[in-house]
Amino acid sequence: MTRALAVGVAGLGTVGAGVLSLLRQNADIIAARAGRPIAVVAVSARDRGRDRGVPLSGLRWYEDAVSLAEDAGVDVVVECIGGAEGTARALAEAALSRGKPLVTANKALLAVHGAALSRLAEQRGAALLFEAAVAGGIPAIKAVREGLAANRIGRVMGILNGTCNFILTMMRERGREFAEALHEAQRLGYAEADPSTDVDGVDAAHKLAILAAIAFGRPVAFDAVHIEGIRAVSALDIRLAEELGYRIKLLGIARRKDGGIETRVHPCMVPLAHPIARVEGVFNAVVAEGDAVGRVMLEGRGAGAGPTASAVVADLIDLARGRITPVWGAASADLAPVPSVPMTAHEGCYYLRLMVLDRPGVIADVTSILRDHGISLETMIQRGRAPGEAVPVVLTTHETKESAMRVALERIAALETVVEPPALIRIETL
Active-site annotation, residues: 207
Cβ within 8 Å of residue 206, ≥6 positions away: 107, 108, 110, 111, 112, 222
Cβ within 8 Å of residue 408, ≥6 positions away: 369, 370, 372, 373, 375
Tell me how far apart the alpha carbons of residues 418 and 207 are, in angstroms, rounded to a whole number: 37
Q: Are 159 and 250 in contact (CB under 8 A)?
A: yes
Go through the chain and tell me how many residues it has.
430
AA letter at 395: L
Tell me how far apart the alpha carbons of residues 266 and 253 are, in angstroms, rounded to a whole number: 9
Q: SS3 for 24-69, per residue?
A: HHCHHHHHHHHCCCEEEEEEECCCCCCCCCCCCCCCEEECCHHHHH
Q: What is the CA radius of gyration of the chain?
A: 24
Strands, E assignment, 18-79: 38-44, 60-62, 76-79
AA letter at 215: A
- Three-state DSSP class for 270? strand
Q: Are 47 and 335 in contact (CB under 8 A)?
A: no
AA letter at 284: N
Tell me how far apart the alpha carbons of residues 225 and 320 are, in angstroms, rounded to a whole number: 35
On the CB side of 47, CA atoms within 13 Å amount to 6
Nearest to 313 by CA among 49, 78, 126: 78
